[in-house]
Structure 1
Amino acid sequence: MEVAKPGFSEEQSLLRQGYRLIAGVDEVGRGALAGPVTAAAVILPHPCPFPWAELVRDSKLLTPSQRQGLARHIEAQATAVSVAMVEADYIDKVGIARASLEAMQRAVAGLNPTPQYLLIDYLKLPQMGLPQKGLRDGDSLCFSIACASIMAKVARDQRMTELDRLYPGYGLASHKGYGTAQHLACLRRLGPCPVHRRSFAPVREVLTPLKLGAHGERLATEYLRQRGFSIRETNFRSPEGEIDIVAQKGELVVFVEVRTRQSKAFGTPEESITRAKKARLVASAQAYIQSHPDLPPACRIDVLAIDMRRGRPARIELIENAVQL
């Protein structure tokens, strides 16, 4: 089934009313878990007799190469183009609805010349003080809005590719911050990076246990110091795995696995260490020993279990030789 092309009916109606500087406005990235929400505003000459105009569609229906090619044409032949981004930290502060509106307002404010009329995908921007119309499915039906959607999408995709280089491991360049299975798996494995939207439920759900774990490790460090241990290192990482705390007391070195729980629904903290986890702890401890030839010969692996059920003080227990080294 052939997809209908965005048309010029809205622009033609406005031209008959005497408007000449008509801006299409759209935003992208509203539902992503990471990166900015991005808006674009585009003023095109009318009529628009360019051969590439036949290829314009809602940006979601185009391939990346098609969008990039059309964006170059739009940039070259539009009367004005403006793109604006609102970053993840501000989205978390004000909410995605307000952030999306602000991105569109900034894009419109960046146009030179100032538009006489706004055609906006679905929404309205009363704060702009300009005549305007919000169109349901505007990016599919209205040519000017479709062009704005292309410019916004290309700009945001480029930004996500740049962010992928800054924060590798999440695949931001491929899924562009949306909640794909790959992205969620990376998020669970690595935790959020600075451009993740912490107010969004999938990120918040990952962040909560990370905060709990970090708090548990702070309690564990203090507990060990109070009992005469010095802390050699925290969060030691090797190809084999991670050790939460490496502590020393006299001629004894202890590799400490911190286990924190708020509920016994899945067993006690010490019961949550699987056979595979024990093997990784042993391998990580051996990697640490090999990389530190000055260590005393006496070493062991302990589990420090922290029960942090609400309404009661934290229960902390050091289980010595919990894993045989």
Structure 2
Amino acid sequence: MMKSLYYNFDTNYRKNKNFHILGIDEAGRGPLAGPVVAAGVILNPDFDHIEIKDSKKLSEYKRNKLYKIIKKNALKVIVEISWEEEIDEKNILEATIDCFKRIIDNVKNIPNTILIDGTKVPIHGRNIKFIKKGDSKSLSIASASIIAKVTRDNIMKQFDYIFPNYDFKNNKGYGTRKHFEAIKLYGSSPIHRKSFKPVLDFLIPITNLTKRDLDCLGKKYAAISIVKNGFEIKEMNYNKPNIGQIDIIHLENNKLVFSIVNIILNQNSNENSKNFISFKKAKKTMNVSRMYLSEKGFVENVRFDVISVCFSDANPSISRIKNGISF
């Protein structure tokens, strides 16, 4: 069977049929919000797929389909993420380079050649090649571009649950007109890159927020921490009138987790007060969780957590107590 042009490009870097190539690409250098995601893919040397190409040239449906195919046929897939804090601290280029370096460190003894999309950056190592527009030439790089893009898009869809006003599920954090308008109207969110304009111009100091605003923001910080740990948000503020509310419901390793968020405004509060949930609130949580499980038909593999968010300075501290609610 005739091989694709992408496969043949990689063949130029193979000395024999067992030669391993690590392709590296990233997604998300340009957006105003969210992380930059880099992926490294080592494909089975015999693997080819005519539909694999630059992720930007594929529909979302096709990317998701190929994502599964690549994962199934790759010898190794590595994903590294630099969140907005790291981007603001270092700058977007350095944060991206650090992701690339972490991928290479992860597979030091495997690839014979490393192909990185883009122009040369300060990454030193044996057999590293920088390929301009590599995601439109190399099967390995194109596969990495699909893994990075799908991973990042899924993260931004999760953030859309938390911050529905910014339309992250559609713009993926990029500076669309609707996104700019939302920033001007609602201010910048915690996942916006504060080193990017116009984000910096619309930061809202915590000292300007009411107690109610802080309560809402604290729940969002708690949810962000769950997403950054790689778990899936299922519901925010799941409410049953006259019965109760569960702040966050998320899926963690096939376990459904119901979380109550405690907002701490006094940094001198002791640990017991930070994690305290009254018996009345615990009972309401149990009742609402039963209703949720009944609605969704979920098997009762569940856990009840307490997440404490302490606003002691500009960067809230977050702690989570697993099985923190007693009944």
What's the TM-score bracket when you normalise by the shorter of the two chains?
0.5 to 0.7
Question: Normalising to structure 2: TM-score of the pair?
Answer: 0.59
> 5+ residue gaps in structure 2?
214-327
Helix, strand or coil: the match of 2:151? Answer: helix
Q: Distance in 2 between matches of 1:143 and 1:123?
A: 18
Does the aligned pair in 2 maintain the 1:58–1:149 contact within 8 Å? Answer: yes
Amino acid across the alignment from 2:135:
D
1:27 match: 26
Q: Distance in 1 between matches of 2:111 and 2:156?
A: 29
Q: Distance in 1 between matches of 2:5 and 2:161?
A: 35
Q: Does 1:75 align with 2:74?
A: no
2:12 match: 13
**For 1:191-210, what aligned pairs fall within 5 Å after superposition?**
191-207=187-203, 210=204
Amino acid across the alignment from 1:200:
F
Percent identity at matched positions?
A: 35
Q: Distance in 1 between matches of 2:24 and 2:168?
A: 25
Helix, strand or coil: the match of 1:69? Answer: helix
**For 1:1-325, what aligned pairs fall within 5 Å after superposition?**
7-16=6-15, 20-49=19-48, 53-111=49-107, 114-124=110-120, 127=123, 129-207=125-203, 210=204
Residues 109 and 200 (structure 1), Cα distance of their counterparts in 2 relative to 1, 3 Å cut:
same
Helix, strand or coil: the match of 1:7? Answer: helix
> 5+ residue gaps in structure 1?
219-232, 237-325
Helix, strand or coil: the match of 1:20? Answer: coil
Deviation, structure 1 residue 199: 0.3
Helix, strand or coil: the match of 1:83? Answer: strand
1:292 match: none
Deviation, structure 1 residue 137: 0.7
> What are the superposed Cα offsets for residues 71-101 of structure 1, whole Å, 9 maximum, x if unpaired?
0000001111111110001100000010111
Equivalent residue pairs, number: 210
> What are the superposed Cα offsets for residues 109-148 of structure 1, whole Å, 9 maximum, x if unpaired?
3348632211110144654523111111111111111110
Q: Distance in 1 between matches of 2:160 and 2:108?
A: 32
Deviation, structure 1 residue 63: 0.7
Residues 145 and 117 (structure 1), Cα distance of their counterparts in 2 relative to 1, 3 Å cut:
same
Question: Normalising to structure 1: TM-score of the pair?
Answer: 0.59
Does the aligned pair in 2 maintain the 1:38–1:83 contact within 8 Å? Answer: yes
Does the aligned pair in 2 maintain the 1:6–1:57 contact within 8 Å? Answer: no
Does the aligned pair in 2 maintain the 1:25–1:108 contact within 8 Å? Answer: no
Does the aligned pair in 1 maintain the 2:9–2:137 contact within 8 Å? Answer: no
Residues 95 and 6 (structure 1), Cα distance of their counterparts in 2 relative to 1, 3 Å cut:
farther
Amino acid across the alignment from 2:31:
A
Structural RMSD (CA)? 2.5
Q: Distance in 1 between matches of 2:95 and 2:153?
A: 18
Q: Distance in 1 between matches of 2:179 and 2:84?
A: 16
Helix, strand or coil: the match of 2:164? Answer: coil
Does the aligned pair in 2 maintain the 1:6–1:139 contact within 8 Å? Answer: no
Residues 160 and 113 (structure 1), Cα distance of their counterparts in 2 relative to 1, 3 Å cut:
farther
Residues 127 and 138 (structure 1), Cα distance of their counterparts in 2 relative to 1, 3 Å cut:
closer
Helix, strand or coil: the match of 1:89? Answer: helix
Helix, strand or coil: the match of 1:54? Answer: coil
Q: Distance in 2 between matches of 1:132 and 1:26?
A: 13
Deviation, structure 1 residue 166: 2.1
Larger radius of gyration: 1
Does the aligned pair in 2 maintain the 1:80–1:112 contact within 8 Å? Answer: no
Deviation, structure 1 residue 173: 1.2
Deviation, structure 1 residue 19: 7.0
Deviation, structure 1 residue 206: 2.5
